[in-house]
Amino acid sequence: MLKVLVTGRDGQLGQCIKSVAHQYPNLEFDFKASSELDITNKAKVESFFNNQQYDYCINCAAYTNVDQAEAETELAHIINVLGPKYLSESCSKHQVTLIHISTDFVFDGNASNPYKETDSTNPIGVYGKTKLEGEQEIIEKLNNYFIIRTSWLYSEFGNNFLKTMQRLASERDEIGVVGDQIGSPTYAIDLANIVLGLIQDRNTSYGIYHYSNEGVISWYDFAKEIFRLSKSTIKINKIETKDYPTKAKRPKYSVLDTSKIKHFTYISNWKDSLFKAILNINN
Protein backbone atom coordinates (compact mmCIF):
# COMPACT_ATOMS: atom_id res chain seq x y z
CA MET A 1 0.00 0.00 0.00
CA LEU A 2 1.27 3.44 -0.95
CA LYS A 3 1.47 5.98 1.88
CA VAL A 4 0.48 9.54 0.99
CA LEU A 5 1.15 12.69 3.01
CA VAL A 6 -1.24 15.59 2.33
CA THR A 7 -0.25 19.03 3.62
CA GLY A 8 -2.75 21.87 3.93
CA ARG A 9 -5.48 19.55 5.20
CA ASP A 10 -7.95 22.35 5.98
CA GLY A 11 -7.62 24.23 2.69
CA GLN A 12 -10.03 23.81 -0.20
CA LEU A 13 -8.08 21.14 -2.10
CA GLY A 14 -7.02 19.35 1.08
CA GLN A 15 -10.66 18.98 2.06
CA CYS A 16 -11.56 17.81 -1.45
CA ILE A 17 -8.87 15.11 -1.37
CA LYS A 18 -10.11 14.01 2.05
CA SER A 19 -13.68 13.77 0.72
CA VAL A 20 -12.71 11.36 -2.10
CA ALA A 21 -9.94 9.45 -0.27
CA HIS A 22 -12.30 6.53 0.49
CA GLN A 23 -12.48 5.84 -3.26
CA TYR A 24 -8.79 4.87 -3.19
CA PRO A 25 -8.59 1.93 -0.76
CA ASN A 26 -5.07 1.01 -1.92
CA LEU A 27 -3.74 4.37 -0.70
CA GLU A 28 -3.04 5.19 2.94
CA PHE A 29 -3.47 8.88 3.71
CA ASP A 30 -1.96 11.10 6.38
CA PHE A 31 -3.60 14.55 6.37
CA LYS A 32 -1.73 17.32 8.17
CA ALA A 33 -2.81 20.85 9.04
CA SER A 34 -0.20 23.62 9.33
CA SER A 35 -0.43 23.33 13.13
CA GLU A 36 0.77 19.71 12.84
CA LEU A 37 3.30 20.19 10.03
CA ASP A 38 4.58 23.70 9.45
CA ILE A 39 6.16 23.43 6.00
CA THR A 40 7.82 26.84 6.49
CA ASN A 41 9.98 25.53 9.35
CA LYS A 42 12.99 23.72 7.86
CA ALA A 43 13.95 21.89 11.08
CA LYS A 44 10.39 20.69 11.72
CA VAL A 45 10.00 19.44 8.14
CA GLU A 46 13.30 17.55 8.36
CA SER A 47 12.39 16.04 11.74
CA PHE A 48 8.94 15.04 10.49
CA PHE A 49 10.29 13.21 7.42
CA ASN A 50 13.03 11.56 9.49
CA ASN A 51 10.36 9.96 11.66
CA GLN A 52 7.82 8.99 8.98
CA GLN A 53 7.88 6.99 5.77
CA TYR A 54 5.91 8.15 2.73
CA ASP A 55 5.78 7.32 -0.95
CA TYR A 56 4.09 10.57 -2.00
CA CYS A 57 3.60 14.07 -0.64
CA ILE A 58 0.74 16.20 -2.01
CA ASN A 59 1.41 19.82 -1.13
CA CYS A 60 -1.91 21.64 -0.80
CA ALA A 61 -0.50 24.22 1.62
CA ALA A 62 -0.30 27.67 0.03
CA TYR A 63 -0.82 31.38 0.52
CA THR A 64 -3.69 32.03 -1.90
CA ASN A 65 -5.09 35.47 -1.01
CA VAL A 66 -4.12 37.25 -4.24
CA ASP A 67 -4.88 40.80 -3.06
CA GLN A 68 -3.54 40.42 0.48
CA ALA A 69 -0.27 39.05 -0.93
CA GLU A 70 0.51 42.53 -2.26
CA ALA A 71 0.73 43.73 1.37
CA GLU A 72 1.98 40.50 2.99
CA THR A 73 4.84 39.93 0.55
CA GLU A 74 7.12 38.26 3.10
CA LEU A 75 4.46 35.87 4.38
CA ALA A 76 3.48 34.88 0.82
CA HIS A 77 7.17 34.22 0.09
CA ILE A 78 7.64 32.12 3.23
CA ILE A 79 4.64 29.89 2.51
CA ASN A 80 4.79 29.69 -1.32
CA VAL A 81 8.58 29.58 -1.79
CA LEU A 82 10.29 28.36 1.37
CA GLY A 83 7.55 25.77 2.08
CA PRO A 84 8.02 23.96 -1.26
CA LYS A 85 11.80 24.34 -0.92
CA TYR A 86 11.91 22.56 2.46
CA LEU A 87 9.45 19.88 1.30
CA SER A 88 11.55 19.29 -1.83
CA GLU A 89 14.73 18.88 0.19
CA SER A 90 13.14 16.28 2.48
CA CYS A 91 11.36 14.52 -0.39
CA SER A 92 14.70 14.26 -2.21
CA LYS A 93 16.47 12.86 0.85
CA HIS A 94 13.76 10.28 1.57
CA GLN A 95 12.86 9.41 -2.06
CA VAL A 96 9.32 10.75 -1.83
CA THR A 97 7.48 11.87 -4.98
CA LEU A 98 6.14 15.42 -4.57
CA ILE A 99 2.88 16.58 -6.17
CA HIS A 100 2.62 20.36 -5.94
CA ILE A 101 -0.30 22.57 -6.93
CA SER A 102 0.48 25.80 -8.77
CA THR A 103 -1.49 28.41 -10.68
CA ASP A 104 -2.33 30.19 -13.93
CA PHE A 105 -1.06 33.36 -12.21
CA VAL A 106 2.51 32.45 -13.23
CA PHE A 107 1.51 33.94 -16.63
CA ASP A 108 0.84 37.62 -17.39
CA GLY A 109 -2.45 37.07 -19.25
CA ASN A 110 -1.32 38.80 -22.46
CA ALA A 111 -1.65 35.68 -24.62
CA SER A 112 -4.44 34.96 -27.09
CA ASN A 113 -3.97 31.18 -27.19
CA PRO A 114 -4.10 28.70 -24.27
CA TYR A 115 -0.87 28.59 -22.27
CA LYS A 116 1.29 25.50 -22.72
CA GLU A 117 3.56 24.17 -19.97
CA THR A 118 6.57 25.28 -22.03
CA ASP A 119 5.40 28.89 -22.51
CA SER A 120 7.35 31.73 -20.90
CA THR A 121 6.16 32.75 -17.45
CA ASN A 122 5.78 36.36 -16.38
CA PRO A 123 3.73 36.86 -13.20
CA ILE A 124 2.21 40.32 -12.68
CA GLY A 125 1.67 40.14 -8.91
CA VAL A 126 3.22 38.87 -5.68
CA TYR A 127 1.02 35.75 -5.53
CA GLY A 128 2.01 34.58 -9.03
CA LYS A 129 5.64 35.51 -8.46
CA THR A 130 5.90 33.48 -5.24
CA LYS A 131 4.11 30.50 -6.77
CA LEU A 132 6.54 30.54 -9.70
CA GLU A 133 9.53 30.72 -7.35
CA GLY A 134 8.08 27.76 -5.45
CA GLU A 135 7.94 25.79 -8.71
CA GLN A 136 11.58 26.68 -9.40
CA GLU A 137 12.69 25.41 -5.99
CA ILE A 138 11.04 22.05 -6.69
CA ILE A 139 12.52 21.72 -10.19
CA GLU A 140 15.97 22.56 -8.84
CA LYS A 141 15.89 20.02 -6.02
CA LEU A 142 13.83 17.09 -7.29
CA ASN A 143 13.56 14.71 -10.22
CA ASN A 144 10.39 12.91 -9.09
CA TYR A 145 7.75 15.63 -9.01
CA PHE A 146 4.48 16.71 -10.57
CA ILE A 147 3.68 20.41 -10.64
CA ILE A 148 0.04 20.92 -11.60
CA ARG A 149 -0.97 24.44 -12.57
CA THR A 150 -4.68 25.04 -12.27
CA SER A 151 -7.11 27.96 -12.57
CA TRP A 152 -10.31 29.38 -11.04
CA LEU A 153 -10.55 26.66 -8.39
CA TYR A 154 -13.92 26.16 -6.68
CA SER A 155 -15.84 23.48 -4.76
CA GLU A 156 -18.29 22.99 -1.94
CA PHE A 157 -15.36 23.46 0.49
CA GLY A 158 -13.50 26.59 1.60
CA ASN A 159 -13.88 30.10 0.21
CA ASN A 160 -14.28 30.39 -3.55
CA PHE A 161 -16.19 32.11 -6.35
CA LEU A 162 -19.10 29.64 -6.37
CA LYS A 163 -19.80 30.02 -2.67
CA THR A 164 -19.35 33.80 -2.79
CA MET A 165 -21.87 34.10 -5.64
CA GLN A 166 -24.38 31.92 -3.81
CA ARG A 167 -23.98 34.01 -0.67
CA LEU A 168 -24.40 37.28 -2.56
CA ALA A 169 -27.49 35.90 -4.29
CA SER A 170 -29.07 35.44 -0.86
CA GLU A 171 -28.12 38.96 0.26
CA ARG A 172 -28.64 41.16 -2.80
CA ASP A 173 -31.04 41.80 -5.68
CA GLU A 174 -28.37 42.87 -8.16
CA ILE A 175 -24.65 42.28 -8.73
CA GLY A 176 -21.92 43.27 -11.18
CA VAL A 177 -19.40 40.63 -12.36
CA VAL A 178 -16.30 41.14 -14.51
CA GLY A 179 -16.78 40.04 -18.10
CA ASP A 180 -13.37 40.85 -19.63
CA GLN A 181 -11.22 38.33 -17.73
CA ILE A 182 -11.17 35.01 -19.58
CA GLY A 183 -10.26 31.57 -18.23
CA SER A 184 -11.50 28.10 -17.30
CA PRO A 185 -13.06 27.11 -13.96
CA THR A 186 -11.72 24.03 -12.19
CA TYR A 187 -13.82 21.89 -9.85
CA ALA A 188 -11.41 21.01 -7.03
CA ILE A 189 -12.97 17.54 -6.64
CA ASP A 190 -12.00 16.82 -10.27
CA LEU A 191 -8.47 18.05 -9.53
CA ALA A 192 -8.31 15.86 -6.40
CA ASN A 193 -9.19 12.80 -8.49
CA ILE A 194 -6.57 13.71 -11.10
CA VAL A 195 -3.89 13.94 -8.41
CA LEU A 196 -4.88 10.65 -6.77
CA GLY A 197 -5.12 8.98 -10.17
CA LEU A 198 -1.47 9.83 -10.85
CA ILE A 199 -0.55 8.11 -7.59
CA GLN A 200 -2.80 5.09 -8.03
CA ASP A 201 -1.43 4.51 -11.54
CA ARG A 202 2.15 4.97 -10.23
CA ASN A 203 2.67 7.45 -13.05
CA THR A 204 6.32 8.36 -13.59
CA SER A 205 5.89 10.92 -16.40
CA TYR A 206 7.15 13.65 -14.10
CA GLY A 207 7.10 17.37 -14.84
CA ILE A 208 4.78 20.35 -15.14
CA TYR A 209 1.14 19.88 -16.18
CA HIS A 210 -1.82 22.18 -16.77
CA TYR A 211 -5.27 21.15 -15.57
CA SER A 212 -8.64 22.88 -15.67
CA ASN A 213 -12.11 21.84 -16.75
CA GLU A 214 -12.99 22.09 -20.44
CA GLY A 215 -14.39 25.37 -21.76
CA VAL A 216 -13.34 29.01 -22.01
CA ILE A 217 -15.53 31.64 -20.30
CA SER A 218 -15.52 34.91 -18.37
CA TRP A 219 -16.27 35.37 -14.68
CA TYR A 220 -19.60 36.85 -15.81
CA ASP A 221 -20.44 33.64 -17.74
CA PHE A 222 -19.46 31.59 -14.70
CA ALA A 223 -21.67 33.62 -12.36
CA LYS A 224 -24.57 33.48 -14.82
CA GLU A 225 -24.47 29.68 -14.88
CA ILE A 226 -24.13 29.48 -11.08
CA PHE A 227 -27.29 31.57 -10.69
CA ARG A 228 -29.14 29.57 -13.34
CA LEU A 229 -28.34 26.24 -11.71
CA SER A 230 -29.07 27.64 -8.25
CA LYS A 231 -32.42 28.98 -9.53
CA SER A 232 -31.51 32.45 -8.28
CA THR A 233 -33.44 35.52 -9.45
CA ILE A 234 -30.59 37.98 -8.78
CA LYS A 235 -29.93 40.45 -11.59
CA ILE A 236 -26.40 40.17 -12.96
CA ASN A 237 -24.62 42.99 -14.82
CA LYS A 238 -21.49 42.55 -16.91
CA ILE A 239 -18.77 45.01 -15.88
CA GLU A 240 -15.14 45.61 -16.92
CA THR A 241 -12.01 45.07 -14.83
CA LYS A 242 -11.54 48.85 -14.55
CA ASP A 243 -14.96 49.07 -12.86
CA TYR A 244 -13.86 46.67 -10.12
CA PRO A 245 -10.40 47.78 -8.92
CA THR A 246 -8.40 45.32 -6.81
CA LYS A 247 -5.03 45.55 -5.01
CA ALA A 248 -3.52 42.93 -7.30
CA LYS A 249 -3.68 42.83 -11.08
CA ARG A 250 -5.42 39.78 -12.59
CA PRO A 251 -4.39 38.12 -15.85
CA LYS A 252 -6.89 39.13 -18.56
CA TYR A 253 -6.49 35.77 -20.28
CA SER A 254 -5.53 32.72 -18.24
CA VAL A 255 -6.69 29.76 -20.32
CA LEU A 256 -4.44 26.73 -19.82
CA ASP A 257 -3.67 24.22 -22.56
CA THR A 258 -4.49 20.83 -21.01
CA SER A 259 -3.39 18.64 -23.95
CA LYS A 260 -0.46 17.13 -22.03
CA ILE A 261 -2.45 15.83 -19.05
CA LYS A 262 -5.15 14.46 -21.37
CA HIS A 263 -2.75 11.62 -22.20
CA PHE A 264 -3.63 10.23 -18.75
CA THR A 265 -7.16 11.37 -18.07
CA TYR A 266 -10.56 12.53 -19.28
CA ILE A 267 -11.45 16.16 -18.48
CA SER A 268 -15.06 17.16 -17.80
CA ASN A 269 -16.75 20.22 -19.24
CA TRP A 270 -16.99 23.06 -16.73
CA LYS A 271 -20.81 23.11 -16.86
CA ASP A 272 -21.06 19.40 -15.98
CA SER A 273 -18.68 19.81 -13.05
CA LEU A 274 -20.43 22.94 -11.79
CA PHE A 275 -23.73 21.05 -11.84
CA LYS A 276 -22.19 18.33 -9.64
CA ALA A 277 -20.75 20.89 -7.20
CA ILE A 278 -24.07 22.67 -6.74
CA LEU A 279 -25.83 19.33 -6.34
CA ASN A 280 -23.36 18.42 -3.57
CA ILE A 281 -23.88 21.77 -1.84
CA ASN A 282 -27.65 21.36 -1.95
CA ASN A 283 -27.44 17.84 -0.56
Q: Give catalytic residues, as residue numbers.
A: 127
CA separation for the pair 206, 121 (Å, rounded): 19
Which residue type, as a one-letter code, is found at position 120?
S
CA separation for the pair 167, 161 (Å, rounded): 10
User: Do 146 and 98 form a contact (C-beta atoms < 8 A)?
Assistant: yes
Mention every residue, 6+ apart, whose C-beta is less than 8 A from residue 129: 123
